[in-house]
Amino acid sequence: MPRQILPEEKIHPAVREKVATRHLDIVDEVQKAIAANDVVVVGMAQNPNPKRARAALKNKGVPHVYLEYGSYLNNWRRRNALKMWTGWPTFPMVFVRGVLVGGADDLQRLIDSGELDRLLAGDRTC
């Protein structure tokens, strides 16, 4: 099921550029990391869930890149751009071979089921 996104024609032309470029730098940085690495974890300081995701990957021996943006006390506006881009409401955001697979619990389910191994091996029939 495709997620709903406000169509561009429903955004007034005077504000389209503002909508399109708001904190674009953070989205670009994550997109570049995803393009260059098999596994990327995007998180924030003070949140235990990115730490759990990274620990699960480390225990499994899966190399990954970690990008951290602020904490509960700062950078929430910048992180919001990532939430709007992905549609994922929480951190971490875990990407495997360019695909958002969810957060720490979702990643653990993929590890437990063997699906992470299949994704990393190139089987994209999930």
* Tens-digit pLDDT profile for residues 16-73: 999 999 999 999 999 999 999 999 999 999 999 999 999 999 999 999 999 999 999 9
Query: What are the residue ranges spanned by the domains of the chain?
Result: 23-121
The predicted structure's pLDDT at residue 43: 98
Instruction: Report pTM.
Output: 0.92
DSSP class of 122? T
The predicted structure's pLDDT at residue 1: 74
The predicted structure's pLDDT at residue 54: 98
Phi-psi category of residue 87: left, alpha or beta, with phi > 0 → left and psi -120 to 50 → alpha = left
Distance CA 108, CA 113 (A): 9
Question: Is 126's pLDDT higher than 70?
Answer: no
Model confidence over 91-114: pLDDT tens digits?
A: 999 999 999 999 999 999 999 999
CATH superfamily of domain region 23-121: Glutaredoxin (3.40.30.10)
Question: Is 125's pLDDT higher than 80?
Answer: no
